[in-house]
A and B are shown apart, each in its own frame.
Chain A
């Protein structure tokens, strides 16, 4: 039951109806029931895995807090008797006990994720290494529970925040079950923090017609992005990636660029739907995208793309690693042989490199995804290490950092680098991605294929190409307005009712006429749903 199917619309309508009909204090139970029904309809008995991870995380959260509270109680009861060293020792013991529980909770969550999602990756690679010995490990055959990569990170952040004493654990198992399973976000995020989302989920919100309208606006825009832009782009992308040797370099580059746009339309469209559905219930999900194609560097791109994953990695991998004793000591040593400036940045450089390795691996159990992460990591980490060099180069070339041509150059450069990275994530394998890059380089400026026959050969007729270009232009205009801080939905809501409804009808008609859907068409799942 996907977000853009008729059964989902019926399910949503029933949930909205029951939610606002139920007494306020029971409304979270309606959301919990809907979320577990939605999960069961999508993943059947794999719902047990979700529940098991929920139960483990819930128990671990309570245990961590109990250990911390006991330590504090002991210290306050024995304040007078204990010396400074003894107080420190008690604090240390408490911290260690809490850490052990955190590690067990995290290991169980990550263990399930690794077993179900990554076991074959490790087995296949072990078999390659062991091939000379004749030993062959059998492959596993696990089904992947819906959203496991997303809700596992959510569960880990919950436990770490409790351990860091930034969060009170949930006492009510039912409420915590809702936090990990909320149906609009379980498919592909965003990856919320408990402090940001939980209270909103547990409160009973009143019905608000304006919110319903605003939520519906987002859902409609999400459908347009998914059912028109992403689905149209999918056809030339599939043609080019499945038979790249038949196309000149510029078409191969276009395939990667289109794939980037396809993922953007698909993923951000899904996010719009998730945020729109949540808004109807009075729940605000975090933005996951902020006009990524206006980024001026690869680093900037990752601050605007899949924001909640980036923030998760920053708070739970980058900061702890950069500040760890080992990395700090390394930074000190590195100053001697790299110089003061670069040496200081080395811990950040290494941490960032590891973060992007993990970002790549998180996307899927294949080397090509690791290469995708490392590709991005190289540009970001090198920009940390070479900040001074870049600054001096700009100075020598007398380039003004705030000039418009430089800004546009930076956007185009970032687009090119990000697009090259797409070869890794979309090609069938790492070696094919490299070969595609070679093919691209051999004829990047060969545009002779751009004619009617050449374009139609990519799977879209001229009418479809025109339609795609119009909707890409609309999407670009929307992002441009957002980039200039225009609140488009508020502007639409302020318009007279006739104009407002004309826009909504136009959007609905566009989806009905141009959208790729219907019983004869089997739309692909969201790209990120598979991660």
Chain B
């Protein structure tokens, strides 16, 4: 899953160091369009539904936080 997430992120924003960035939202590295595109890709790739309630800096500030959100939603569906 980690690899797949990193690939999706790198495809959308190749200029961002997703390995090390921990304030993607707080430092405005990602804008709202990036976020919507990323969410769309995650929803499709992992068969989940990231809701508007999930759009919080804590869930998208780093690739690790995104992975945690995805895992939580995948488990919720199970």
Show the binding face of A for B, using Cβ within 8 Å: 164-166, 299, 303, 314-315, 318-320, 322-323, 328, 331, 344-345, 347-348, 351-352, 384
Contacts and interface: CB of A to CB of B under 8 A. Distances in A.
Grouping DSSP codes into helix (H, G, I), strand (E, B) and loop, the B interface class, with mixed when no group exceeds half, is helix
B32 A323 contact: no
Interface centre among B28, B33, B53 (most CB of A within 10 A): B33
Interface centre among B28, B36, B39, B53 (most CB of A within 10 A): B36
B4 interface: no
A306 to B, nearest CB: 16
Contact of A319 (B28, B31, B32, B43): B32
Contact of A384 (B33, B51, B53): B33
Nearest to B50: A323
Interface of B: 28, 31-33, 36-37, 39-41, 43, 50-53, 55-56
A164 B53 contact: yes
12 contacts: A314-B32, A318-B32, A319-B36, A320-B52, A323-B39, A323-B50, A323-B52, A331-B40, A344-B41, A345-B33, A348-B36, A351-B36
Nearest to A315: B55
B4 to A, nearest CB: 17
A322 B36 contact: yes
B33 A165 contact: no
Contacts of A384: 33
B40 to A, nearest CB: 6
Interface centre among A303, A344, A347 (most CB of B within 10 A): A344
A347 B37 CA distance: 9
Contacts of B41: 344
A315 B43 CA distance: 19
Contacts of B36: 318-319, 322-323, 347-348, 351
Interface centre among A165, A299, A323, A351 (most CB of B within 10 A): A323
Contacts of A315: 55
A323 B35 CA distance: 11
A397 B51 CA distance: 41
Nearest to A331: B40
Nearest to B34: A348
A222 B55 CA distance: 35
B30 to A, nearest CB: 13
A441 B50 CA distance: 48
Contacts of B51: 323
Nearest to B36: A322
A193 to B, nearest CB: 13
Given A323-B39, A347-B36, A347-B40, 14 more contacts: A164-B52, A303-B28, A303-B31, A315-B55, A318-B32, A319-B36, A319-B55, A320-B52, A323-B36, A323-B50, A331-B40, A344-B40, A348-B32, A348-B37
Contacts of B33: 345, 348, 352, 384
Contacts of B55: 315, 319
Contacts of B50: 323
Interface centre among B28, B39, B40 (most CB of A within 10 A): B40
Nearest to A384: B33
Contacts of A320: 52
A315 B36 CA distance: 12
B53 A344 contact: no
A166 B59 CA distance: 14
A323 B43 CA distance: 10
A345 B52 contact: no
Interface centre among B41, B52, B55 (most CB of A within 10 A): B52
Q: Which 4 A-B pairs have the closest CB atoms?
A: A322-B36, A164-B53, A320-B52, A319-B52
B7 to A, nearest CB: 15
A165 B53 contact: yes
Nearest to B43: A328
Interface centre among B28, B32, B55, B56 (most CB of A within 10 A): B32
Nearest to A160: B52
Nearest to A165: B53
Nearest to B53: A164
Given A314-B32, A319-B32, A345 B37 contact: yes
B37 A344 contact: yes
A315 B54 CA distance: 11
A79 to B, nearest CB: 16
A272 to B, nearest CB: 23
Nearest to A351: B36
Contacts of A344: 37, 40-41
B46 to A, nearest CB: 15
A318 B50 CA distance: 15
A319 B51 CA distance: 9
Given A318-B32, A345-B33, A348-B33, A328 B53 contact: no
Contacts of A165: 53
Contacts of B43: 328
Contacts of A345: 33, 37
A315 to B, nearest CB: 8
A322 B31 CA distance: 14
A332 B40 CA distance: 10
Nearest to B78: A84
B66 to A, nearest CB: 15
